[in-house]
A and B are shown apart, each in its own frame.
Chain A
């Protein structure tokens, strides 16, 4: 297993990107994050994390169409890469594995 460094916020946002499925972009991710996880973070932080994820190859992006609500400016749409998908799955598997171990060793 290769080592994957994914911070907690990074993981959350990566999951949001996966959830929103190709429609993910800054503002929507920020709102979805609040809806799903009650996490309020600034838009600049969202951008920063998305950049980091893209650098690490977990997400890819393309420029979307312009819309009036954005003052005619285009948005950058993010979607999860296969590598990103396998990375979160791997993380989930690791966690599951550990949880199973926890469940076995310490009966409630």
Chain B
């Protein structure tokens, strides 16, 4: 059979698709038999032609089309026709249903895409479940979670632990000044990269093989490209940027004006869903060559120096951690290895554990993903609820139609089928439109959702399959109950229109659904209100220093002469009010930290010391940032680095009762003795999510790395000011990129993720409110229509418009009020646990819950009144004259 010639396949599939199921087998059998005979008698091409001819012949025969199970296709098309008619009669409802469902479906698709993307991070490596990151947990109570490990650790582990399958160390720098010199050594191109620069070992690509992605080596030898010191491998994007149209292998690149590296390979860009955002991969051997001493230092750590291990199959995490502890204890003094522990974190958790963080600086907790998923689900549910409510309400209007159908011999099954098809059509329309809306939403919300253009693909089979599943499930969820209610009608009472809606099962369920819908809505609205209040708090809370109109610029070198020149030139400008040099900024997401130990003079063991943040400043720093001095004096340029200022927290933690008591005391900083000359008031060097650290300031000009420039806001436009500063800067530091940032922006960056959540939640609550109000509008429309006569009679007997408004709205106001009491405890629980992530947060006052709830209530009242007012205003005679 294998070698036998094959007939044209399209005829086969044509027959299979079009023929009744019970016939296609025999037809294809006969066709095939004729074909094999034709092949022998007439040759292949003639046989194929005749096969097509014969196959097409069947399409002209009536039997071929007729016998699709008796009459079902006619019935089905009848259902569709009826559904189309009834949908076009109730246009308003159809619109409400479609809009509600399509928003729900679109949002659900978007959320699904986001969740899928977030869950896909670094899952594609071959041994992903056996890859672990070495993390550092320290402190007496094991409360400090960090990532970095000391430089000599990986090599020692590799040598001293036998059953370690593989280990790779890496150092991430992120930003880098990149220069491309020509053959004579003159720089021809200069770039400042903000992220992506890392040092990795050749074993990086053994562990992280990016299997199942499009990643591959374009040129260079994966095994050797990164083994020599000062070799660099570039991603394709950067290779094209640095060396357009050039053969770059063997070319030289210069980093930070110091280090020359040879390009030894080009790789495809890493996929977006990895927590290794590397674009410039310098060989790790270079680190040995540059900073060899660091590889004898078992104490210092940098969070960006990390190592990943692969455990041999069968080795448990615990066993390996014990081995680590053994090796660590052999190399370090007791107080280090007793307070610092190297543990393992499985690769799967890296993206989801904010305690440790990632090189991308972004993690997302699984709780957040769950919350997102719930929001998506809730949106779908509110859409379904709208549909169920409107359909059951509408069923009372359709009672005549249904009664007549039953009289004409429709059975329950027919009616259910018909109604399900109506539902299906609506959901299908909503699904298709929702798919389009999802595309638009993804396009516009990319930044909010942390997506890049190539991190999602809506034509992916998974997305299509999800969409189909959603359509199916939503159809069943929202169509089933109303179809049961409708098909249950007693034809006689339905025809007589004696149908009493008050006692119909639909109404009590409808009440429950309305309460449910508004509970979900209020939960989200209250939550959003509080999230926004917390963000406002983050903005407006006094951080203890002034951060307005301050520009910070990275100093390219440590030359005091140039520093003096630039300070003088800046001071001469009218738009500059103050200039200060320091090691780092007082606060902001983008700054350096340097931590040291300090203790009372009698301190002896590690326990007696406190960790503090060391900052080197000049005498203008306190004044520029308006940091209050509580006691003692400010530093002067003449002060040695042994004279220090401490902050109030440190004074308290060192057991000084008052700031004044601390002044003049001698302290031990590491082994050196220092004098406290002043105490400054606490300010937030961290975000308000965290508490205040201990802090010390001293004058140490060699450490100055950043200039702060306080601008005089009244003078000139901001962009013009920045341009002029840049010009002055370029005079003094001609070969450097002017790398500046406004401190305000830097501080706002603390809350970038929270801000995104706040925006997302605002968007979601808006959608929820709109859908819920639309549903309410649809419901009230029916009530107004149904109670038209009742209203007319009441008006005849003297009811005022106000009376009638109350009549209409009373029930719904009660339901919405009830939903407030359902939503509030849940909202309280959720919001409280979110706020507890932050050290500084707003108090949960009662009005934070009541204000948004009242807002929702007023809004729904408006919706209800707008519609019922029309019913109430109607002339009673118009209503009553037709009977």
Chain A residues with CB under 8 Å of chain B are 25-27, 30, 42-45, 47-48, 51-52, 63, 68-71, 73-76
CB-defined contacts of A45 to chain B, threshold 8 Å: 57, 61
For the complex, is B753 an interface residue (Cβ under 8 Å from A)? no
Q: Report whether A73 and B1 are in contact in the complex, using a CB–CB cutoff of 8 Å.
A: no
Decide yes or no: A73 and B28 within 8 Å by CB, A27-B33, A48-B63, A52-B63 being known contacts. Answer: yes
Chain B residues with CB under 8 Å of chain A are 1, 25-34, 36-37, 53-54, 57-58, 60-64, 67
Q: Report whether A43 and B31 are in contact in the complex, using a CB–CB cutoff of 8 Å.
A: yes
User: Chain B's nearest CB lies how many Å from the CB of A89?
Assistant: 26
Give me 12 other A-B pairs in contact (C-beta within 8 A), A43-B31, A74-B29 excluded.
Answer: A27-B33, A44-B58, A44-B60, A47-B27, A47-B63, A48-B63, A51-B63, A63-B26, A69-B32, A71-B29, A71-B32, A73-B28
Q: Report whether A69 and B36 are in contact in the complex, using a CB–CB cutoff of 8 Å.
A: yes
Specify which of A27, A48, A68 is in contact with B30 (CB 8 Å cutoff). Answer: A27
Decide yes or no: A73 and B32 within 8 Å by CB, A42-B57, A43-B54 being known contacts. Answer: yes
- Give me 7 A-to-B residue pairs in the complex whose CB atoms sit less than 8 angstroms apart, sorted by A's number: A25-B30, A27-B30, A42-B57, A45-B57, A47-B30, A75-B26, A75-B30
How many angstroms between the C-alpha atoms of A43 and B53 in the bound complex? Answer: 10
Q: Report whether A44 and B61 are in contact in the complex, using a CB–CB cutoff of 8 Å.
A: yes
Specify which of A30, A42, A48, A73 is in contact with B29 (CB 8 Å cutoff). Answer: A73
CB-defined contacts of B57 to chain A, threshold 8 Å: 42-45
How many angstroms between the C-alpha atoms of A26 and B1 in the bound complex? Answer: 22
Specify which of B1, B25, B54, B67 is in contact with A44 (CB 8 Å cutoff). Answer: B54
Specify which of A26, A42, A48 is in contact with B26 (CB 8 Å cutoff). Answer: A26
User: Chain B's nearest CB lies how many Å from the CB of A108?
Assistant: 44
CB-defined contacts of A63 to chain B, threshold 8 Å: 26
Q: Which among B1, B30, B62 has the highest number of chain A CB atoms within 10 Å?
A: B30
How many angstroms between the C-alpha atoms of A30 and B63 in the bound complex? Answer: 18
Specify which of A44, A48, A52, A70 is in contact with B32 (CB 8 Å cutoff). Answer: A70
How many angstroms between the C-alpha atoms of A46 and B62 in the bound complex? Answer: 13
How many angstroms between the C-alpha atoms of A48 and B54 in the bound complex? Answer: 13
User: Chain B's nearest CB lies how many Å from the CB of A49?
Assistant: 9
CB-defined contacts of A68 to chain B, threshold 8 Å: 1
Q: Which among B28, B29, B31, B61 has the highest number of chain A CB atoms within 10 Å?
A: B29
Decide yes or no: A75 and B58 within 8 Å by CB, A47-B63, A48-B63, A52-B63 being known contacts. Answer: no
User: Chain B's nearest CB lies how many Å from the CB of A52?
Assistant: 7
Decide yes or no: A70 and B58 within 8 Å by CB, A48-B63, A52-B63, A75-B26 being known contacts. Answer: no
CB-defined contacts of B1 to chain A, threshold 8 Å: 68, 71
CB-defined contacts of B54 to chain A, threshold 8 Å: 42-44
User: Chain B's nearest CB lies how many Å from the CB of A97?
Assistant: 34
User: Chain B's nearest CB lies how many Å from the CB of A61?
Assistant: 9
How many angstroms between the C-alpha atoms of A42 and B51 in the bound complex? Answer: 11
Beta-carbon nearest neighbor of B58 in chain A: A44
Q: Report whether B63 and A74 are in contact in the complex, using a CB–CB cutoff of 8 Å.
A: no
CB-defined contacts of A74 to chain B, threshold 8 Å: 25-26, 29
How many angstroms between the C-alpha atoms of A73 and B1 in the bound complex? Answer: 13
A-B interface contact total, Cβ < 8 Å: 63
Beta-carbon nearest neighbor of B7 in chain A: A71
CB-defined contacts of B28 to chain A, threshold 8 Å: 71, 73
Specify which of B33, B53, B62, B64 is in contact with A70 (CB 8 Å cutoff). Answer: B33
Beta-carbon nearest neighbor of B54 in chain A: A43
CB-defined contacts of A71 to chain B, threshold 8 Å: 1, 28-29, 32
Specify which of A27, A52, A73, A76 is in contact with B34 (CB 8 Å cutoff). Answer: A27
User: Chain A's nearest CB lies how many Å from the CB of B602?
Assistant: 94
Specify which of A25, A48, A69, A75 is in contact with B61 (CB 8 Å cutoff). Answer: A48
Decide yes or no: A26 and B30 within 8 Å by CB, A68-B1, A69-B36 being known contacts. Answer: yes
CB-defined contacts of B63 to chain A, threshold 8 Å: 47-48, 51-52
Q: Report whether A73 and B58 are in contact in the complex, using a CB–CB cutoff of 8 Å.
A: no
9 nearest interchain CB pairs?
A44-B57, A73-B29, A26-B30, A51-B63, A70-B29, A48-B61, A44-B58, A76-B26, A71-B32
How many angstroms between the C-alpha atoms of A73 and B22 in the bound complex? Answer: 12
Q: Report whether A73 and B62 are in contact in the complex, using a CB–CB cutoff of 8 Å.
A: no
Q: Which among A26, A42, A71 has the highest number of chain B CB atoms within 10 Å?
A: A71
Q: Report whether A47 and B58 are in contact in the complex, using a CB–CB cutoff of 8 Å.
A: yes
Q: Report whether B61 and A73 are in contact in the complex, using a CB–CB cutoff of 8 Å.
A: no
CB-defined contacts of A48 to chain B, threshold 8 Å: 61-64
Beta-carbon nearest neighbor of B28 in chain A: A73
How many angstroms between the C-alpha atoms of A26 and B58 in the bound complex? Answer: 13
Beta-carbon nearest neighbor of A26 in chain B: B30
CB-defined contacts of A44 to chain B, threshold 8 Å: 54, 57-58, 60-61, 64
Q: Report whether A73 and B60 are in contact in the complex, using a CB–CB cutoff of 8 Å.
A: no
How many angstroms between the C-alpha atoms of A65 and B231 in the bound complex? Answer: 71
CB-defined contacts of A51 to chain B, threshold 8 Å: 63, 67
User: Chain A's nearest CB lies how many Å from the CB of B39?
Assistant: 11
How many angstroms between the C-alpha atoms of A25 and B33 in the bound complex? Answer: 11
How many angstroms between the C-alpha atoms of A12 and B690 in the bound complex? Answer: 96
Beta-carbon nearest neighbor of A77 in chain B: B26
How many angstroms between the C-alpha atoms of A52 and B64 in the bound complex? Answer: 12
Q: Report whether A73 and B36 are in contact in the complex, using a CB–CB cutoff of 8 Å.
A: no
CB-defined contacts of B64 to chain A, threshold 8 Å: 44, 48
CB-defined contacts of A26 to chain B, threshold 8 Å: 26, 30
How many angstroms between the C-alpha atoms of A52 and B60 in the bound complex? Answer: 15
Beta-carbon nearest neighbor of B62 in chain A: A48
How many angstroms between the C-alpha atoms of A47 and B30 in the bound complex? Answer: 10
How many angstroms between the C-alpha atoms of A75 and B621 in the bound complex? Answer: 96
How many angstroms between the C-alpha atoms of A57 and B554 in the bound complex? Answer: 97
How many angstroms between the C-alpha atoms of A71 and B4 in the bound complex? Answer: 10
User: Chain A's nearest CB lies how many Å from the CB of B65?
Assistant: 11
How many angstroms between the C-alpha atoms of A52 and B66 in the bound complex? Answer: 12
How many angstroms between the C-alpha atoms of A108 and B690 in the bound complex? Answer: 124
CB-defined contacts of A43 to chain B, threshold 8 Å: 30-31, 34, 54, 57
Q: Report whether B60 and A75 are in contact in the complex, using a CB–CB cutoff of 8 Å.
A: no
User: Chain A's nearest CB lies how many Å from the CB of B11?
Assistant: 12
CB-defined contacts of A76 to chain B, threshold 8 Å: 26
How many angstroms between the C-alpha atoms of A51 and B19 in the bound complex? Answer: 14
CB-defined contacts of A30 to chain B, threshold 8 Å: 34
CB-defined contacts of A75 to chain B, threshold 8 Å: 26, 29-30
Beta-carbon nearest neighbor of B24 in chain A: A73
User: Chain B's nearest CB lies how many Å from the CB of A5?
Assistant: 17
User: Chain B's nearest CB lies how many Å from the CB of A67?
Assistant: 8
User: Chain B's nearest CB lies how many Å from the CB of A90?
Assistant: 25
CB-defined contacts of A42 to chain B, threshold 8 Å: 53-54, 57
How many angstroms between the C-alpha atoms of A51 and B34 in the bound complex? Answer: 20
Q: Report whether A47 and B61 are in contact in the complex, using a CB–CB cutoff of 8 Å.
A: yes
CB-defined contacts of B29 to chain A, threshold 8 Å: 70-71, 73-75
CB-defined contacts of B27 to chain A, threshold 8 Å: 47
How many angstroms between the C-alpha atoms of A41 and B239 in the bound complex? Answer: 70
How many angstroms between the C-alpha atoms of A75 and B33 in the bound complex? Answer: 10
Beta-carbon nearest neighbor of B4 in chain A: A71
How many angstroms between the C-alpha atoms of A71 and B1 in the bound complex? Answer: 8
How many angstroms between the C-alpha atoms of A30 and B36 in the bound complex? Answer: 15
How many angstroms between the C-alpha atoms of A106 and B560 in the bound complex? Answer: 139
CB-defined contacts of B62 to chain A, threshold 8 Å: 48
How many angstroms between the C-alpha atoms of A49 and B571 in the bound complex? Answer: 105
How many angstroms between the C-alpha atoms of A83 and B29 in the bound complex? Answer: 28
How many angstroms between the C-alpha atoms of A73 and B58 in the bound complex? Answer: 18
How many angstroms between the C-alpha atoms of A74 and B23 in the bound complex? Answer: 11
